[in-house]
Structures are given as C-alpha cells and as structure tokens.
Structure 1
Amino acid sequence: MPETSRPAWPKTLKFAIVALSAAFVATLAPQAASAQNAGALAVSHKSPFNCGKTFNANNWTGSPNHNPLGSIDWQNYGSDAINGEPVRATAAGTAYFYNAGNTSYGRWVEIRHSDGSRTRYAHLATQVKAAGSSMSVSQGTQIGTVGSTGGSNAPHLHYEQRTSGGGMDTSPTVEGTTVSVGQKKALKSTNGCGGSGGNPNTAEEVCGSGYAVIDSAALTGGRTYLLYNSGNGYNCVATLKTTNLNSSSAASAFLEPKGENRTTDSGSYQYYAGPVKRDAAGQCVKWGGSIGSSTYTSGFEHCG
C-alpha cells in the first residue's frame, strides 16, 4: 500500500522493538569478535623469503617514519643483504598488485587469505604482475623483489598482517614466532623448504637463472607457472606438485608461441614437470599444464 496509508505503530511498541534489537546485537557482538579472532588463527604464515634465508624482523615501537604500528620491517641480517631478494607469499590467497608511486608503499601487494585476513608487502623493486592485476597464489609463490620504492630510505620489505576488517595485528606471527611491538627477531625462512608435504623446488629453480614468474594457475595437487627471462626473451613453463611428493605420478607442462607448434613435457614425476622453454620475445603465448586429471590451458596472452 502507499507509504502514507500505512498505520502508525504506537511509540511504546517502537521503543520495545528498538530495545530488543539493541539487546540482540549486543549478544551477537562477543560471538562475532570471537569468530574474527578464531579466523585470525586459521592461516599460518611463513617468512616471505626463499627457503633457508635469515633476515631481521623489526616491529618498531612506532614513529612518524614507521606506520602503521605493528608492521614489520624485514632488514639485513649479519652479512646477508636483503636488497633484490625474491618476495614470496607468506600464505595462500589472491594477490592484488598496486603502485603508489613515490609516496607511501611505493610498489606493493596485498594478499587476501581464505579466512578473510590480509597481508601487505611494500616498497617492492619489482612485481610479477602489473599494477591493477591480480592472481591466485600459493604459499611461497613469488610476488616481487625487495626494493626501496615509495616512502623508504633504504632497501627493506615492509610487511603487515591485517584482520578481515582491515585492522592491524600488532603482534604478527611468522614461522611460528610472534614479533610484538618493540621486538626484533632474526627469523629463518622455511617457505618452500619441503617437509609437511611441501615441494622442495621452486619454479625459478626449475627454469634457472634469470627467469621470474609472471603468471601461475592452480591445479588440484599443485600449480603450473609461466616465467620470463628478459635477458634472452625466452618463456619457461614448469608444473610443480604439492601432493604425492617423492612418489611418481602424471604431470605435464606445455608452451606454445602463437603461430608455432606446441612443446610439451609430460610423464610420471616425483616433484615437477618441465622446464619447457621457448624463444617468445614479442609474441603471445599459450601455456599450461596438468597434474593427474586436473588441467589448465591459458588463452594466447603475455604478448610483450
């Protein structure tokens, strides 16, 4: 019926409904908070660096030059310099790539994880995807390299762990170690080291020196990767298993420059299929792979 013809509710009934609603919301609030806290514990984070690398995790007490409070600056450890180090996802999720230019984070990435929580990686020298892009990542997938872009005075990795609501976790836990405000801890990475079902190889190691990941796709039981070597113009595809490791099973990797024949490596492998390398400078490529019956085939893309 028209709004003007609706009967008015008595004021006493209105107040009763408002009061009951407020009470109901109040009873739900602690449950919601508990659910959010439980979710924050659902994702386990490894160090954002290569297996075996040790760097200092500094959770500064806060100053005008270090915000927000609770973020970690990963810096040199001993004689190990961090500049140019590959930066890897600390947990699986969807990565979103940004470029803030000469201010704030500079080149940075946010990964949104399965429980709704987020991690941020800032001041990157390079990113594996252009700003405005996104990609699905596994724990250990490379997303960029350490640099000093944006509001940074020296090469380091700015790292944050945030709740699903965007709030800062001021005592983030990495590699099972909590780094609270005011603490500095040297943490050794086990990201991609194997054990507990982890593949001891990385796509970069499989393809070799000079290759960097520019795309990847999830498979049931693993992931297939597309890499590029800017030095020689070659692409490379490798498919890495994450299950049934150290046990031979069907896997494949393929690469097809547009207008040319496809090159495929397929067989029964313990850890990975590939590398498949082709000269594709200035050409679009179709790429992909398989693990068991799970397959991925791209369209023709990455045409630069």
Structure 2
Amino acid sequence: MASETTRRSLHSRVSKLSRKGRLAILAAAAFGALALSPVAFASAEEPAAAPQDVSIMAPSYKAPFDCNKTFNANNWSPGHNPSNSIDWQNASETINGKNVRASAGGTATFYDRGNTSYGKYVVINHGNGASTLYAHLSSMVRSPGQTMSVSQGTKIGAVGSTGNSSAPHLHYEQRVNGSVQSPVVEGISVPLGSKKAIKSSNGCSGGGNPYTPTQVCGSGFSVINQHDLGSAATIYLLYNSSNKNNCVVTMKKTNLGSATAVSATLQVQGKSKKTDSGNFSYYAGPVKDVAAATCVKWGGSVGSTSWESPYQHCG
C-alpha cells in the first residue's frame, strides 16, 4: 500500500494531467485507499468543480440529526472521495437507523443509485449556490425523483449503508456551486484529516422554553418539519403514524412566562382551517387533525410576524 507521502506526491502530479487522465488515476488511488478506514466510501456522482473564490455566505449548518444526538464527524484524509466530505459514525450510541434531518432549509431532491455510489441520497439546494448532500440512507421520506420544500430540522431519511458502503454511516457534504467545502457544523470547523464528536442542536426547542413540541402534542408524535419566526418563536409540524394525526404548535423563544400574542394553524386539504390563538406564556396549540394521504397547510404567528406553508406532506 502506498504511503501518505507517496499519495500526496501522486495527487500533485495528477493535477498536471488532462481531465480524463486525472479521473482515471485518482479513481485508482481512491480505490487503493479504501482499506485505510472502516467504511467503503462513495464515489462522486460528478467531477468536483474547479477551485474558486467563494464569496457566497453559506447557511449556518446544524448537525443532520435529532436534538442532542452526538456522533463522530470524520473528515478522512487521504482517499475519501470527494475530499472534505464527512462520514458521520458511531459515538456514544449506534448511528444506524437514526433520523437524518436537513442541516438548513431549502429544496430537497431525492435520488437512488441502487448498490452503487451514494445509494439512496438527498441533495438540498439552500440557494445562492449552497447545497448539502446526505448519502447511504436506508430510507427516504420521498421517492426518487421527487422534490420537497424543507426547513432546518426537517426529517429527510434515516441512516443506513446503501450504495458503495460496507458499514452504516452518513456521508455528508457541504457544497458551494458544486465544489465541496471544508465543513462547519454547529459552528465547529471539521478540517481535512480531523475527527470531532459533535452534538446536534437541530430541532431543539430554543430560548429556554420549558416545554417541547412532543410534550405539547403528546405521546406518539414526532417532529417532521419546523419554521422559525425569527428569534421569537418556532412553528413545529408533528405527525403520529399510528393514528394519522398531524399536530401544529408554535413555541415561544422570547417573552417566556409573559402572556403575548401567539397562534398555531392547521388545515387539511378539503377541510376548514383550525386555529389556536390568544395571549400565551409559552406556546400556542396543539392544533390537531387527521390527514391520511392528504396534504396539509400549517403555520402560526408571534406578535405581528406570521407564516403559513403551502399544501405539503401529502403522503
């Protein structure tokens, strides 16, 4: 097996070859380096974009897991393809089967490459050239080829080992205009060659609110989407798969303990809108309705700031 020095020299020489020659040699080098890590890494779906000056501000990315889950972020070096992508792996608990959530809001597109490359994977376009990729999923919340509007914290799938992978993990990329960037997650930089245990704050009820969305909606409900009303509140959409009930709650993050104007709304397509509004100390809701295989609108307000989704979550 080639030494790290040899591989670095190889990459330096390869950079002077034609595009076709670079791809062939780098593919062979990446294949030979697979034995360096406990997982078999994915091949890139397309060649990485040429290096560029990145003048676009990327979103503030959160870890792609449930609130308070901690997993190891491994930015392998050398041989991980593409360079600067993260493999999220076991830390204090097993990662296999855990929920995968959007690191930031945007438009998600779902793909399936079968037993090759990324396997089941999702790409989220965050706007301004920024995107994230989540690969080797065991399941996805939409079928391949479908798109979906997501907020930060929306569930998009579950961790698995599909495609070119020999052990369950989440392959994760942060890109700008197609070029994979050195990742920053939860404000923590994960440079090439590093491994860091990172705790997710994704989906956590912020601002010190003593209640959580699942406490308010009740047993059997889990968060499937959320939308921030600035720093004042977050609207959550939850779902109970056993009874097909949707639940909306608006959780305050400021003026806690003081009664201020808050609302939560839910409308199942074909039915009248349901609303809970008033002056509340901690939250508005829960607003519940049954919607099996039917689209829903959900939203809410705090003070003079309001938001409502289009009809979505139709499965």
TM-score calculated relative to the size of structure 1: 0.69
- How far has the Cα of 1:49 moved from its partner? 2.2
2:191 aligns with one of 180, 197, 200 = 180
- CA deviation digits over 1:209-241, x for unaligned, max 9? 543455555655545343332222222222344
Q: Name the residue aligned to 1:72.
A: 86
Q: What are the ranges of 5 or more consecutive residues in structure 2 without an aligned counterpart?
A: 1-50
Distance 1:112 1:85 in 2: 23
- CA deviation digits over 1:12-59, x for unaligned, max 9? xxxxxxxxxxxxxxxxxxxx965x2x535x543332223322211111
Q: Name the residue aligned to 2:246.
A: 235
Asked whether the equivalents of residues 128 and 215 of structure 1 are also in contact (C-alpha less than 8 Å), the reply is no
1:269 aligns with one of 276, 280, 283 = 280
The one-letter code of the counterpart of 2:137 is L
- How far has the Cα of 1:122 moved from its partner? 1.8
Cα 1:126/1:213, change in 2 over 3 Å: farther
Cα 1:141/1:244, change in 2 over 3 Å: farther
Asked whether the equivalents of residues 108 and 150 of structure 2 are also in contact (C-alpha less than 8 Å), the reply is no
Q: Name the residue aligned to 2:108.
A: 96
Asked whether the equivalents of residues 225 and 236 of structure 2 are also in contact (C-alpha less than 8 Å), the reply is yes
Secondary structure (helix, strand or coil) at the match of 2:247 reads strand
Q: Is 1:152 aligned to residue 165 of structure 2?
A: yes
Distance 1:53 1:243 in 2: 25
Asked whether the equivalents of residues 221 and 239 of structure 2 are also in contact (C-alpha less than 8 Å), the reply is yes
Asked whether the equivalents of residues 233 and 280 of structure 1 are also in contact (C-alpha less than 8 Å), the reply is yes
Cα 1:95/1:212, change in 2 over 3 Å: farther
Cα 1:47/1:281, change in 2 over 3 Å: closer
Asked whether the equivalents of residues 193 and 200 of structure 1 are also in contact (C-alpha less than 8 Å), the reply is no
The one-letter code of the counterpart of 1:280 is A
Q: What are the ranges of 5 or more consecutive residues in structure 1 without an aligned counterpart?
A: 1-31
Asked whether the equivalents of residues 205 and 251 of structure 2 are also in contact (C-alpha less than 8 Å), the reply is no
- CA deviation digits over 1:241-260, x for unaligned, max 9? 45555654222223344565
Q: Is 1:39 aligned to residue 50 of structure 2?
A: no
The one-letter code of the counterpart of 1:56 is N
Q: Name the residue aligned to 2:98.
A: 85
Q: Name the residue aligned to 2:138.
A: 125
Cα 1:281/1:77, change in 2 over 3 Å: same
- CA deviation digits over 1:166-223, x for unaligned, max 9? 1112x3222333222222222223334566x586766455434543455555655545
Q: Is 1:211 aligned to residue 227 of structure 2?
A: no
- How far has the Cα of 1:62 moved from its partner? 4.3
RMSD across aligned positions (CA): 3.4
Larger radius of gyration: 1
- CA deviation digits over 1:63-106, x for unaligned, max 9? 4xx4212111111113x11122222333x331312122413223
Distance 2:140 2:87 in 1: 18
Percent identical pairs in the alignment equals 54
Cα 1:300/1:60, change in 2 over 3 Å: closer
Asked whether the equivalents of residues 250 and 301 of structure 2 are also in contact (C-alpha less than 8 Å), the reply is yes
Asked whether the equivalents of residues 238 and 248 of structure 2 are also in contact (C-alpha less than 8 Å), the reply is yes
Cα 1:133/1:248, change in 2 over 3 Å: farther
The one-letter code of the counterpart of 1:211 is F
Secondary structure (helix, strand or coil) at the match of 2:157 reads strand
Distance 2:191 2:304 in 1: 45
Asked whether the equivalents of residues 55 and 82 of structure 1 are also in contact (C-alpha less than 8 Å), the reply is yes
TM-score calculated relative to the size of structure 2: 0.67
Asked whether the equivalents of residues 192 and 202 of structure 1 are also in contact (C-alpha less than 8 Å), the reply is no
The one-letter code of the counterpart of 1:51 is C
Cα 1:190/1:258, change in 2 over 3 Å: closer
Moved more, 80-89 or 69-78: 80-89
